[in-house]
Amino acid sequence: MAIEIKLPSVAAGMEEATLVRWVKSEGESVAKGETLAELETDKAVMEVEAEASGVLGRVLVPGDTDGVPVGTVIGVLMEPGEEASALANYPAEPPAAAEPSPAGAPDGAPADTPRSDRADTAPVPRSPRAAEGAEGRVFASPLARRLAAERGIALEGLAGSGPHGRIVRLDVERARDSAPAAVAAPAEETVAASSERVETIPHSGMRKTIARRLSESKQQVPHFYLTIDCLLDELLALRERLNAKGERAEPRYRLSVNDFVAFAAARALRRVPEVNASWSDEAIRQYRDVDICVAVATSGGLVTPVVREADRKGLATLSGEIRELAHRARDGRLAPADYQGGGFTISNLGMYGVREFAAIVNPPQAAILAVGAVEKRPVVRDDQLAVGSLMTLTLSADHRVVDGAVGARFLAELKVLLEDPLELLV
Amino acid sequence: MPRSRKLTVQAPWRELATTERDWQRADASLLATTLVSLHLIRAFEEKVLELAGQGLVHGPAHSSIGQEGGAVGSALALRSSDQINGSHRAHHQFLAKSLHFVAPQGLDPAQPVSDSTQALLQRTLAEIMGLSQGFCRGRGGSMHLRWADAGVLGTNAIVGGGVPMAAGAAWAHRRAGTGDVAVTYFGDGAVNIGSVLETMNLAAAWKLPLCFFIENNRYAVSTEVGEVTAEARLSSRGQAFGIPAWKVDGMDPLAVHLAMQEALAIMREGGGPTLIEADVYRFFHQNGPLPGSAFGYRTKEEEAEWRERDPLDRVAKAMVERRLIDEAGVAGLRERARSAMERAAAELLDTGGKKPAVRADLWPSPDFRDAHVRGDLSELASARYVEQEAYGGTLEPRKFVDSVAEVMHRRMESDERIVVMGEDVHRLKGGTNGATRGLAQAFPGRCLGTPISENAFVGLGGGIAMDGRYRPVVEFMYPDFMWVAADQVFNQIAKARHMFGGDSAMPLVLRTKVAMGTGYGSQHSMDPAGIFATSPGWRIVAPSTPYDYVGLMNSALQCEDPVLVIEHTDLYNAKFPSPVDDLDYCIPLGKAKVVRPGRDVTVLTYLSMVAPCIEAAERLGVDAEVIDLRSLDRAGLDWETIGDSIRRTNNVLVVEQGSLGTAYGVLLGDEVQRRFLDWLDQPVQRVHGGEASPSISQVLERAACAGPEEIEAGMRQVMAAQGRPLD
């Protein structure tokens, strides 16, 4: 029996992926568990493994195809000895590989088969949803679905104001009105008109996800911002002493300032658990574990892998985990479990010399901490001007979950922990 | 000790039998035509049974073999302009009347079958086989044979169902003063059904030239007549209604002929209806080629006795005795009749295969399925349509019900064909509500108070409409009475055009009033729109203003289809700007009207709920687009107007007053979601009454009906579901 190779769903909420390349080619033998193809989702690159040993009989979706819906049959695996006639039901020629879209195509997207299929069925909930289980089902009125599809608005992030949370026209229109669609449209025309001078970079899955999630966050989450300076002289001294030991330790470790920030933030979250929470229409969900996301810049875009139970881990362990996650993220090798969940995020741009910045809350979390560079700045000590190593932290918080005083209390706790590292021991 | 006095009935009731002398004196040509007709019908029926046995007749083959004498003897007494109808066993009646039509000069047993007779046999057989060359294009089949030219109104599969329709034809004959009559044939099984008894009463009351012809073949399928009635001499029924009646041996065609001649003399002179009971016998079972004895409800001996009295032999014997024919002549006639049927069947069959099959090219096309469910409204092509906004005449505040009477007055004045009938429509200053005020005085003989027998009088109206010379306007005092008249309303009037092949019109207007709010309780308080809308054939209008009423009634009275005009007691006495001088404009059937433009929700409503919907929208500040549907039947829904609105508002609220179970909104909601799903922001929402029929208690009645509060609740719900709650 020929086995259909379907695009797998590896994470809740995953709808589609880019089929990056086929590792095996048609006619090639594969062993069970061997990699057949590589996928890129909005978060990571994954591998499609052979369910059984056999021969890759047919490639139905070529490499470099964007937006392949979960569940799509991308190829066919034949069992050893199976006749090619088993493939009679599958087209002999794979659809043309991605090519530049014809002139006038509205979004400049590759005119490949899966995409055009999606366009035809756009207003209809795609079958892969069923695989997501009841919780993944998005309830939207038929009109809302159609309008969202027409306007390129993802229903998934929208809050529904109809019965049972059904997304209705109003919700799609609000999303449209608050999105920069009006600006984007003429900009696209300009791009098309001057294509010789502009390189068009098709959206990767990750880019689309970043765009969608952060747009939704900025549009829908009532942000407020709290900024605090921390004097790090003692912490830097401690770090120096520890790193000296770390060079000789087994395994070796080398602690960054950011490791200390994460370590301290985990403890501050334990002290002010109201910040370790998220918003939903029914209730505020406060997390029992302290799972902290760490923003990592990669060539493909921003990812936020999670350090689980960060408050229960030693500094060296925490540091090692963060380093490993960042490494995997840059290689595009994060597993879905590596980036799902988390109650709080830390983003650090200090290495670029950025003094301070305000980050966008990472939904559904209620807060994100933006960490600036450690700088020597003038400080007043005992009414005397002196030089101190200062770092500016900015907390962006969802006011629906975190009131101003709660956010301030969290920052105050964090400041104490960072300025007086002995506090970290208790 | 009370005194008692013997009472007698007035109507004569007698048994008529022929003597030898009658046979000797009978016209030779009459006997010859009788013999040929009997033989052609016998051969026809034998061929039908043969084809049925080969599976070539789809559906029942109700054979008349054995009982041809009643039909032939009576039909030969009729003239072409007289009309007949019959029931499920009617091949012989249809052929007897039609043969007499194609060969009015008579039929000669020595002559070959003529082309016109051959064509009649073939077309009749084709109809029974469901083929497009049949008289009803194959739609009617064995039980729905109609040939208007020959005076066959259409036979009927509902026992007794055709009887009221025949009374309508008789009414038209009487009104036209032609002296023509209608004969309605039915069996012993139909004698006890309401349609027949109600029509006997009505026809006698109105002195209609209608002959109730009972073919008493003694068995209703397998039930013997004595089992189901205490008076098995069925011609006795005439006594109760003052109808002269004859009992006659139906195996003796001459006896039947003589009885029919006596009956015709009465009917043509305006003496009212007559009744003939002909004792006949079907040699076979109800259906198919086996004798009844095979099913155990009668004996072989009984069958043998009746076969001895075969009407074919009876006529042949008399003619041989008078040397009008010899044995060889009879055998030759028999042979010619059988070969005529062989030829007719051969034209319809493909015998090239292993088994004979129907010639494939003769079937009707499947896309003919829904053709002729209703007419094409071409009769309204030159109608003058004027909406209220464009009205050039004078509008004055008047009560709604005054316009109801006035437009009918105006139409009856300008159109002699219109006749109004219903319970008390001629008295009480225009019926129970004044809707027919002044009509009886202004138009004597055209505003008729009926007995309380809705099935008979609406069926009679259907018969008048189908006849075509007059246009009946029938009133049901309350809509719930449609259940009493359900056979005539839904099986007969609604289906006639389609069932009989599409050539017959049914220009009948049925008026009724919704009376929710008057305390008339569970059996007088329905809104009939939902039920009528399930019945293909009916058009339905439900005007909310006198202006629209006048225009829609004018269209309805021109329309060649049955139109239900729904009125409402809540509207009757309310005052509206009403047309007073020009009462001749029309409003299109099938055109809705936006009565309040808006953006938030499309409210689809009609009749008495239109104004409350507008008021509720204003009270709540909901920018509702209120559409007065006006036409409610499936073909009359104005999808252009409705669709345009839904595409703008994306939300739909269907508002009606009446009960859940019979609600009109079911059909509407279903159609809306199928047509406009991708424009809907929520399910089609509905406002309607409770599950129970409204009770008499004022509080319970109010609770059972939808009113302003329920409309408000519906509007609140429809706004909340958009994410825009009103509070």
Compute the average pLDDT of residues B526-533: 98
In whole angstroms, how far apart are CA B540 and each of A130, B158, B603?
A: 44, 25, 19
How many helices (DSSP H) and strands (DSSP E) are in chain A?
11, 18
Reply yes or no on whether the pLDDT at B336 is more than 90. yes
Mean pLDDT, chain B, integer: 97
Give the pLDDT of residue A54: 85
Question: Which of A169-183, B189-203, B387-401, B634-648 has the weakest average pLDDT?
Answer: A169-183
Q: How far apart are CA A415 and CA A209, in angstroms?
A: 33
Residues of chain B neighbouring A146 (CB-CB closer than 8 A): 678-679
Q: How confident is the model at residue A136 (pLDDT cuts 50, 70, 90)?
A: low
Interacting residues of A116 by C-beta distance below 8 A, sequence separation 6+: none
Give the pLDDT of residue A13: 63
pLDDT tens digits for range B578-596: 999 999 999 999 999 999 9
Enter the pTM of the model. Answer: 0.70
Work out the percent of chain B whose per-residue pLDDT is above 90.
Answer: 99
Give the pLDDT of residue A81: 72
Most confident by average pLDDT, A300-309, A372-381, B666-675:
B666-675
How many other C-beta atoms lie within 10 A of the C-beta of residue B568? 23
Mean pLDDT, chain A, integer: 81
Rounded to the nearest angstrom, the gap between the alpha carbon of residue B448 and the centroid of all alpha carbons in its chain is 19
Q: What's the number of CA atoms in the CB half-sphere (13 Å) around residue B51? A: 31
Identify the CA nearest to B602 among candidates B638, B633, B634, B576: B638
**In this complex, do B680 and A168 lie within 8 Å of one another by their Cβ atoms?**
no
Question: Which of A41-45, A241-245, B173-177 has the weakest average pLDDT?
Answer: A41-45
CA distance A426 to chain B (A): 50
Segments of chain B assigned to CATH 3.40.50.920: 593-720
pLDDT tens digits for range A327-343: 888 888 888 788 888 99
Contact (CB, 8 A) for B517 and B576:
no
Q: How far apart are CA B590 and CA B602, in angstroms?
A: 18
Give the pLDDT of residue A322: 93
Q: How far apart are CA B237 and CA B360, in angstroms?
A: 48
Q: Please name the member of A142, A162, A163 whose beta carbon is closest to the beta carbon of B678.
A: A142
- The larger pLDDT score, comparing residue A116 to residue B122, is at B122
Q: How far apart are CA B11 and CA B451, in angstroms?
A: 20
**In this complex, do A143 and B680 lie within 8 Å of one another by their Cβ atoms?**
yes
Reply yes or no on whether the pLDDT at A180 is more than 70. no
Give the pLDDT of residue B399: 97
User: Could you give the domains of chain A?
Assistant: 3-87 (2.40.50.100), 138-214 (4.10.320.10), 223-425 (3.30.559.10)
Contact (CB, 8 A) for B447 and B440:
yes
Give the pLDDT of residue A10: 66
pLDDT tens digits for range A205-254: 778 778 888 888 998 899 999 999 999 999 999 999 999 998 888 888 89
User: Residues of B at the A interface (Cβ-Cβ below 8 Å)?
Assistant: 650, 677-682, 720-724
Q: How far apart are CA B679 and CA B650, in angstroms?
A: 5
Question: Which of A239-248, B38-47, B410-419 has the weakest average pLDDT?
Answer: A239-248
Compute the average pLDDT of residues B78-106: 97
Residues of chain A neighbouring B681 (CB-CB closer than 8 A): 141-144, 162, 168-169
Q: How confident is the model at residue A192 (pLDDT cuts 50, 70, 90)?
A: very low
How many other C-beta atoms lie within 10 A of the C-beta of residue A176? 16
3-state secondary structure A361-382: CCCCECEEEEEEEEEEEEEEEC
Q: What is the CATH number of domain B378-579?
A: 3.40.50.970
Using CB atoms and an 8 Å cut-off, which of residues 113-142 of chain A contact chain B? 123, 141-142
Q: Using N-to-C axis directions, what is the helix angle for B68-75 and B91-102, rounded to 10°? A: 30
The residues pairing with A228 across neighbouring beta strands, listed in sequence order, are A393
Question: Which of A46-55, B67-76, B189-198 has the weakest average pLDDT?
Answer: A46-55
Q: Does A251 touch chain B (CB under 8 A)?
A: no
Reply yes or no on whether the pLDDT at A187 is more than 70. no
Helix (H) or strand (E) holding B154: strand B152-155
The residues pairing with B587 across neighbouring beta strands, listed in sequence order, are none
Segments of chain B assigned to CATH 3.40.50.970: 13-366, 378-579
- Helix, coil or strand: residue B224: strand
Q: How confident is the model at residue B333 (pLDDT cuts 50, 70, 90)?
A: very high
Cβ burial of A170 (10 Å; 0-12, 13-18, 19+) is middle
Which one of B88, B372, B498, B524 is the catalytic residue?
B524
Reply yes or no on whether the pLDDT at A114 is more than 50. no
Compute the average pLDDT of residues B626-642: 98
Reply yes or no on whether the pLDDT at A378 is more than 60. yes
Q: Is position B524 annotated as part of the catalytic site? A: yes
In whole angstroms, how far apart are CA B70 and each of B10, B216, B239, B303, B337?
A: 27, 10, 22, 18, 20
Most confident by average pLDDT, A289-293, A311-315, B71-75, B722-726:
B71-75
**In this complex, do A163 and B720 lie within 8 Å of one another by their Cβ atoms?**
yes
CA closest to B719 among chain A residues: A162
Compute the average pLDDT of residues B511-518: 97
Give the pLDDT of residue B243: 98
Omega within 30 of 0 (cis) for the link into B694: no
Q: Please name the member of A142, A162, A170 whose beta carbon is closest to the beta carbon of B677.
A: A142
Reply yes or no on whether the pLDDT at B614 is more than 80. yes
Residues of chain B neighbouring A149 (CB-CB closer than 8 A): none
Compute the average pLDDT of residues A357-363: 92
Q: Please name the member of B680, B720, B724 whose beta carbon is closest to the beta carbon of A142.
A: B680
- The larger pLDDT score, comparing residue B558 to residue A123, is at B558
Residues of chain B neighbouring A166 (CB-CB closer than 8 A): 682, 721
**In this complex, do B678 and A169 lie within 8 Å of one another by their Cβ atoms?**
no
**In this complex, do A141 and B682 lie within 8 Å of one another by their Cβ atoms?**
yes
- Helix, coil or strand: residue B153: strand
Please name the amino acid found at residue B41: I
Interacting residues of B683 by C-beta distance below 8 A, sequence separation 6+: B673
pLDDT tens digits for range B127-147: 999 999 999 999 999 999 999
Q: How confident is the model at residue A43 (pLDDT cuts 50, 70, 90)?
A: low
Give the pLDDT of residue A334: 83
Residue in the structure block whose two tokens are 């799902």 = A340
pLDDT tens digits for range B202-230: 999 999 999 999 999 999 999 999 999 99
Reply yes or no on whether the pLDDT at A183 is more than 80. no
pLDDT tens digits for range A24-38: 888 888 888 888 888
Contact (CB, 8 A) for B183 and B83:
yes
Q: Please name the member of B677, B679, B724 whose beta carbon is closest to the beta carbon of A170.
A: B724
pLDDT tens digits for range B284-312: 999 888 999 999 999 999 999 999 999 99
CA closest to B648 among chain A residues: A143
ipTM higher than the 0.90 cut: no
Q: How confident is the model at residue A48 (pLDDT cuts 50, 70, 90)?
A: confident
Contact (CB, 8 A) for A139 and A166:
yes
Q: Please name the member of B680, B720, B724 whose beta carbon is closest to the beta carbon of A141.
A: B680
Q: Does A323 touch chain B (CB under 8 A)?
A: no
Given CATH 3.40.50.920, say whether it is the number of domain B593-720. Answer: yes
Give the pLDDT of residue A272: 94
Helix (H) or strand (E) holding B336: helix B327-348
Compute the average pLDDT of residues B26-47: 98
Length of chain A in residues, anyone?
A: 426
Given CATH 3.30.365.10, say whether it is the number of domain B13-366. Answer: no
**In this complex, do B678 and A162 lie within 8 Å of one another by their Cβ atoms?**
no
- The larger pLDDT score, comparing residue B692 to residue A200, is at B692
| CA dihedral of A238, A242, A243, A246, whole degrees rounded to 10 | -170
- Helix, coil or strand: residue A224: strand
Compute the average pLDDT of residues B634-653: 97
Reply yes or no on whether the pLDDT at B709 is more than 50. yes
Compute the average pLDDT of residues B682-711: 97
